[in-house]
Structure 1
Amino acid sequence: MRIRAVIGLLAGAVLLGIVGVMWFGSLAPRELSAATMGEMDTGSGRPAGASGHEGHGSSPLGGAAGGHHHGGVVSVDQLVARPGNPDRSFTLRAEQVGPHRYLVNGRTPGPELRVRHGDLVQVTLINVSVVAGVTLHWHGVDVPNAADGVAGVTQDAVPIGGRYVYRFVADRAGTFWYHSHQLSHEQVIGGLFGALVVRPRHPERNVLDRVATTHLYQGRRTINGRTQPMKITVPAGQRLRLRLINTDNGPVPVQVGGTPFRLLATDGSDIVGPTDVIDRSVTLTAGGRIDLELPATPATVGISGVGWVEINGGAELPRGSRPELDLLSYGRHAEVGLATAAVDRHFDYDLGRRPGFVDGRPGLWWTINGKMWPHLPMFMVSEGDVVRMSIVNHSGDVHPMHLHGHRVLVLSRNGIGSTGSPWWADSLNVRDGESYEIAFRADNPGIWMDHCHNLKHAADGLVAHLMYEGVDTPYRIDRHNEPE
């Protein structure tokens, strides 16, 4: 009995020792640099630093001007838009009016910003009263890195009384949005966001253009901040372009009653050869956008089974759920000029979950490639690389994956290749048990977040980043800069 007791005590001591080592190893430094945090992942393909692209690699990148620069390394705040007078200027004032309530220019959602394709846009953010500080991220817009608005990575959070100027060229017409990337899981949910629409230089005639932003405020569904349905009158002879934006943490099904419709765009990228859709729903993922075209007839657009947009008096929604429109086969195939068969880098992005410690806290935590925050992948690329990424989800939950600064081309889902219009996305709904192959060109130097846009998941560590060789940052993730 005495030997068994000794063995039991020894086993307990060993177990406590293992737990203690795990706990100690999970503790994060008081400040982290995105340029060095995590584990470097060069993927398969060329080794790190062996750039095959003339004029790139570890030399100064992107034609940047000004900012911090030393030893051939470019700082993120040097990666800026072209100089010159802006074509459109806006001032946005962020306010905190309660523990979990935020406004932009006195309202939520914030003002809808409309610009034209090719415009040089300048936005001045002023923090009126947001206690923890604030930033603005331009979701889906391939801005220069200095304008990405990620606290502790591309800028410091703006304190009360401070300001920050964002400058970028609206290089693609489409539907986008802006939101805070400081404590985003609190500030976005609380209302610190708004829509951004980039119109073509020569828009189509006889098209009525409207935005519908869906958001849950303390569990209440709204459209453009209102709990009542949005009513739209489309004059005879015109068509409606309805830009739907999902600012929530989870996907919503969208269906239309009363008329066929066309899906014109996803995540700010046009569909090639859209056709009439009948008796199908479209999944609008968290952070994602879809543009619908509807005729001047009575119709209703439903979100999560409830009619939220009534057109010309509305119509009855289909009862029950509808089969999902498959974007792999919708529209017409077209060449995209991206050589995805022989790529420069290939990465795995494996989403899981397991018990452990994160910064000393025990729990069931998200993992990327088997690792927990902050020991997560730093995907290393050189400017000009063509990159493929294999995303696999076995975490038990859906994850809307969002890569900053780039749009990705969906090549396949669960081994089934894309045959329809090129499916470009920046917010990809990856369900539990699904796998995706995606590709993109690394043509926007910087340090870019690559994270789940269920912002509560991101706050719990489901965030990696894309790192260009030869880029550094003077900013730190700490108690003042908390991007998620």
Structure 2
Amino acid sequence: MRKLSRKGNQASSVQAKKGLLGKLIIDPKEDAFNYDEEDSVLIQQLNGTYMLNGSTNDLNIDAAPGSTVRVRMINATNDTDTISVNGAAYRIIAMDGHDLNEPGLLDNYEFLINTINGKSFHEIPPMIVEEGDRVKITILNAGGGNHPFHMHGHVFRVLSRNGQPLTGSPVYLDTLLTQKDETYEIYVLADNPGLWMMHCHDLMHASMGMSMMFNYEGIATPYRVGTKSGNLPDL
């Protein structure tokens, strides 16, 4: 399964809050996990009001006793939301549309995930790569707050957190929550030539300059950003 959320690209910090988003679920040919029922929950804010699947009402998911339910949670807000399951044990079986390997059982466990290198978007030099490069990026949240690191055009593997290598299932993501004083190392295979954004997925943070580019050598664009051109993405 691959989760996609559709948002306006030019001013997503404004447009997403006005409802320009949605969910698209692509079922795999073969499921890696067995379950009896499934549902999906899109968490969003519309003009400052929290909604679940487009409604301000409580959301109920009906299930028979003893059945197994797969719930896909999509957080399309700019906030970090804490999700918990009470009254039943559960497993986190996928993250960002990538299945986990042999996920363990959890019980009543809560889970989560404006500058870059001291500069804002237009002043940050792009990260230049060539196709086929294997790139290790270190992400340090030194300023505090919740900053979900998001990368366009690629998925990355999380190698370590605070100097400790991850164990168990490999974790592949396109968005990684970072919190104060956390340091992550991620691995990216440069296999999709283009000019790609990397930014904080709190879109207000992105609109205030917390964005940069991941560019492939030899690829250019006639388009320019800035006040002179009038092209101000997400501002």
TM-score by length of 1: 0.46
| Correspondence 1:406 to 2:234 | no
Q: Residues 375-428 of structure 1: CA distance to partner in whole angstroms, max 9, x if unpaired?
A: 102000000111000111111322111000111111111111101211111111
The answer on whether the counterparts of 2:35 and 2:70 sit within 8 Å (CA) in structure 1 is no
- Residues 368 and 377, structure 1, Cα contact 8 Å, conserved in 2: no
Q: Per the alignment, do residues 409 and 226 of structure 1 end up closer, same or farther by CA in structure 2, a change over 3 Å counting?
A: same
Matched, 1:269 2:98: yes
CA distance in 2, matches of 1:262, 1:367: 35
Q: CA deviation digits over 1:199-236, x for unaligned, max 9?
A: 11134665322110011223322101111121222246
Match of 1:466 among 210, 214, 227: 214
* Structure 2 residue matching 1:471: 3-state secondary structure: coil
- Unpaired runs of 5+ residues, structure 2, are none
Matched residue of 1:464: which SS?
Answer: strand
- The aligned residue for residue 295 of structure 1 is none
Q: Which residue of 1 aligns with 2:110?
A: 281
Per-residue CA deviation, residues 338-388 of structure 1 (Å, 9 max, x unaligned), is xxxxxxxxxxxxxxxxxxxxxxxxxxxx32222233110200000011100
Q: Does 1:482 align with 2:232?
A: yes
TM-score where L is the length of structure 2: 0.92
1:184 aligns with 2:43: no
Equivalent residue in structure 1 for 2:77, among 220, 241, 248: 248
Contact kept, 8 Å, 1:380 with 1:466, in 2: the verdict is yes
Deviations 1:165-222 (A, max 9, x none): xxxxxxxx32221111111110011110001212111346653221100112233221
Report the alpha carbon displacement of residue 257 of structure 1 after superposing the two structures with TM. Answer: 1.0
1:207 is aligned to 36
Contact 1:250 / 1:400 at 8 angstroms: preserved in 2?
no
Distance (Å, rounded) in 1 between the aligned partners of 2:87 and 2:147: 32
**Cα distance in 1, alignment partners of residues 232 and 137 from structure 2:** 27
Match of 2:86 among 253, 257, 266: 257
Q: Distance in 2 between matches of 1:269 and 1:449?
A: 21
Letter in 1 for 2:221: T
Q: Which secondary structure state, in structure 2, belongs to the residue aligned with residue 472 of structure 1? A: coil
Q: 2:118 aligned with 1:378, yes or no?
A: no
The alignment of Structure 1 onto Structure 2 pairs a total of residues equal to 231
What is the SS of the residue equivalent to 1:391? strand
Give 1:447's aligned residue.
195
SS in 1 for 2:106: coil
Distance 1:207 1:183 in 2: 40
User: Which consecutive unaligned segments of at least 5 residues does structure 1 have?
Assistant: 1-172, 286-365
Does 2:162 match 1:423?
no
Partners of 2:103 and 2:4 lie apart in 1 by 20
Is residue 2:221 matched to residue 1:393? no
Q: Which amino acid aligns with 1:396?
A: G
Structure of larger gyration radius:
1
Deviation readout 1:268-311 (Å, 9 max, x if unpaired): 1101001211121121x5xxxxxxxxxxxxxxxxxxxxxxxxxx
**2:205 maps to what in 1?**
457
Partner Cα separation in structure 2 for residue 174 and residue 210 of structure 1: 14
Letter aligned with residue 183 of structure 2: S
Counting only pairs closer than 5 Å after superposition, residues 330-369 of structure 1 correspond to structure 2 as: 366-369=114-117
Distance in 2, Cα, partners of 1:268 & 1:205: 16
Which letter maps to 1:196? L
Q: Secondary structure at the match of 1:211?
A: strand
Percent same amino acid at aligned positions? 37
2:23 is matched with which residue? 195
